[in-house]
């Protein structure tokens, strides 16, 4: 795993380390692309623990996490899923956007997220006691919560929780410069543009431009793409399909480039 840079926003590093040292699960809350996954990768490096990252989706089931029986030429055999491997090996298991997964997944996670720290494998009859270094980490975007895709309070209360947001202006400028090598002046313009677009989220935009999108945009500019065209392709088009909203975004981009 490559050494990652990470700029702390508050005290999230200290809280995460304390949770890890006390074998407590952690829940990360914040908008898409604000750095939650990067933070977990960074903390896995700091703790020197393997990391299993699971991108949750509508079809992800408990079986996908725990494992299943498979068949080959010699017969039937059991194959551990990523959660089970992490429990056995003492790794960090990170469930990204956990509310996207099927509801039966949280049932599997409950005995791992309290004092028991155990994983029952119903299909094999095995009860696995978690390795001392095992850590369960989940993330989700509260802005997308609704009646069908919310995280139950009974689940949230099993976790130490950290709230994330887009980085402070000075930090976000440093991030763009470090990640892409872009000039500070251009990075500052991109951040100011993003802040104007983020204010649109209260009106026309379903989702605000993320730090991830700004990094993509800066990479394109650094590689020689016209800044205005890079902003259209990396900021305007990914944010909306609505023609009127795109026109509004384009006018804002024109003010900067």
How far apart are the C-alpha atoms of 200 and 198, rounded to whole Å?
5
**pLDDT tens-digit readout, 120-155:** 998 898 999 999 999 999 999 886 655 456 678 888
Average pLDDT of span 233-255: 91
Q: What is the pLDDT of residue 202?
A: 61
The whole-number pLDDT of residue 253 equals: 95
At residue 1, the pLDDT reads: 47
What pLDDT shows up at residue 203?
A: 61
Alpha carbon distances (Å) from 207 to 15, 118, 143, 162, 213: 28, 37, 9, 21, 12
Quick one: pLDDT at residue 95? Answer: 95
What does the mean pLDDT of the chain come to? 90
In the prediction, which pLDDT does 206 show?
Answer: 76
Give per-residue pLDDT as tens, 14-60: 999 999 999 999 999 998 889 999 999 999 999 999 999 999 988 88
Cα–Cα nearest to 108, from 127, 91, 89: 127
pTM confidence score? 0.87
The residue with greater pLDDT, 228 or 245, is 228
Q: Where are the alpha helices (DSSP H) in the chain?
A: 12-21, 36-47, 62-66, 82-89, 104-109, 153-156, 169-180, 184-199, 211-222, 227-231, 237-239, 243-256
Structure-token pair, residue 76: 């039937």
């Amino acid at each position: 795993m490559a050494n990652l840079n990470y700029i702390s926003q508050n005290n999230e590093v200290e809280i995460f380390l304390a949770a890890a040292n006390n074998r407590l699960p952690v829940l990360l809350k914040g908008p898409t692309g604000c750095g939650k996954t990067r933070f977990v990768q960074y903390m896995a490096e700091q703790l020197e623990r393997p990391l299993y990252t699971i991108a949750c989706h509508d079809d992800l089931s408990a079986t996908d996490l725990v494992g299943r029986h498979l068949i080959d030429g010699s017969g039937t055999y059991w194959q551990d899923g990523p959660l089970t491997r992490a429990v056995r090996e003492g790794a960090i298991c990170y469930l990204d956007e956990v509310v996207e997964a099927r509801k039966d997944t949280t049932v599997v996670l409950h005995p791992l997220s309290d004092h028991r720290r155990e994983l029952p494998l119903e299909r094999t009859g095995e009860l696995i006691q978690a390795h001392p270094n095992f850590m369960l980490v989940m993330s989700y975007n509260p802005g997308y919560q609704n009646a069908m895709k919310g995280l139950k309070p009974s689940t949230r209360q099993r976790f130490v929780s950290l709230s994330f947001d887009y980085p402070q202006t000075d930090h976000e400028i440093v991030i763009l410069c470090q990640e892409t090598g872009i000039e500070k002046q251009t990075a500052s313009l991109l951040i100011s543009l993003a802040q104007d677009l983020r204010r649109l989220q209260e009106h026309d935009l379903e989702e605000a431009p993320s730090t991830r999108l700004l990094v993509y945009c800066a990479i394109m500019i650094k590689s020689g793409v016209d800044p205005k065209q890079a902003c259209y392709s990396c900021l305007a088009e990914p944010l909306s399909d609505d023609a009127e909203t795109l026109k509004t975004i384009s006018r804002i981009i024109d003010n900067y480039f």
